[in-house]
Copies of this chain bind each other. A is one copy, B any other.
Amino acid sequence: MKILIQRQSLVQAIQHVQKAVSGKTTIPVLTGIKIVATKEGLSLTATDLEIGIETRLPTHIEEDQIVQVIEEGAIVLSAKFLSDIVRKLPSQQVEIEVKQNYLTIIRGGKSEYNLHGLDHEEFPRLPQVSGNQVFSVQSDLLKDMIRQTSFAVSNEEIRPVLTGVMFSLRKGSLKFVATDSHRLATREAAVEASEDLEIHNVIIPGKSLNELGRLLSDDSSLVDLVVADNQVLVQMDKTQFYTRLIDGQYPDISRIIPSNFKTGLTVKTKELQGAVERASLIAKEHENNLVRLNIKIGGIEISSNSPDVGKVSESIEDVSVTGDELLIAFNSKFMLDALRVIDSEDLLIEFTGSMSPFLVKIPDNPNCLHLILPVRIY
């Protein structure tokens, strides 16, 4: 293998795939990036066996030559050294040449590295994901859906299905659900799928989704999702993202979302967020970050106290309250997580009593829903 490549393009491609490089592994080849050079250009691949990322660099982008493949071939190089070296090289162009015994020469300017590479045949092949369970989503929309749900997954391995985000598709509507059993986040959106395609109970690990979120661009370009038995493939413009799925049956959440309420509160999102953030400064983590909300017809009061620090209270009068007055307490972390991903100016909270889960939603918009369990206070 022998190639000449624009250094900045190679830096970007390495950054793309590096997120899939295994941090802790006893398999040396997984600490590397596989580089394959063909007539069409270059491909870089990394995987930790949980996720896999492959990105391609064409020989030309419009008039600019990106890669010149002088000799086809493939090699696996340490991701850490490759990344450090390519970033530090002083030249615009980099030459990579593989000699005998996987010895790889990287040249840039007057600098020449001789690195010990690894056999590309030892590198795991990314799965061939295919099937008719295919649909398309706008890149920025998918990114939003991940941001608005993935924070709510469980970090505990006791119930593995809860460490993932469950998605389903029905009548062209894609729905994400995440819960750690203390709070729940859902997000729904119309996507491009055939009317009769139905997908259920696909559980993607929360960590994988966060990595995918970082790869997705902030534009409306279409991204294809292909769902197979235990894999999902996300096909972006020049990059493919694979993740394994979590086995198991996701709990049925439809029964736990209350359909009626006794107290309704409409409030400015940022005003409530600020007040809860200020109250949470006093709240202690080991006491559930407890913050109280006292809802009266004329306004609400947010408060917290900690015997050794002191107490805080703040009132908001610019609210609209319907139904019963109520005193309720919650984990401020769960509330803030939800408030921070709600993009609308106003929000509506529906309570059914101080011991029952409450719903945080956007007025007149059923696509985004957060459910939070209160904390018992005496």
Contacts and interface: CB of A to CB of B under 8 A. Distances in A.
B312 A111 contact: yes
Contacts of A115: 309-310
Contact of A112 (B89, B90, B313, B316): B313
A278 B89 contact: yes
A113 B310 contact: yes
**So how many copies of this chain end up in the complex?**
2
Contacts of A116: 308-310
A110 B309 contact: no
A315 B114 contact: no
A84 interface: yes
Interface of A: 78, 81, 84-85, 88-90, 103-104, 109-116, 274-275, 277-278, 281-282, 308-316
A89 to B, nearest CB: 7
Contact of A309 (B81, B309, B310, B314): B81
12 contacts: A78-B309, A85-B281, A88-B274, A88-B277, A88-B281, A103-B310, A104-B310, A111-B312, A111-B313, A112-B314, A113-B282, A116-B308
Given A309-B81, A310-B116, A110 B315 contact: yes
4 A-B pairs with least C-beta separation: A115-B310, A111-B314, A113-B312, A114-B310
A281 B81 CA distance: 7
Contacts of A275: 111
A234 B115 CA distance: 52
A312 B113 CA distance: 4
A109 B275 CA distance: 11
Contacts of A109: 314
A13 to B, nearest CB: 19
B85 A278 contact: yes
Nearest to A103: B310
A110 B318 CA distance: 12
Contacts of A308: 116
Contacts of A282: 81, 113
A78 B281 CA distance: 13
Nearest to A104: B310
Contacts of A278: 85, 88-90, 111
A131 B90 CA distance: 54
Contacts of A314: 109-112
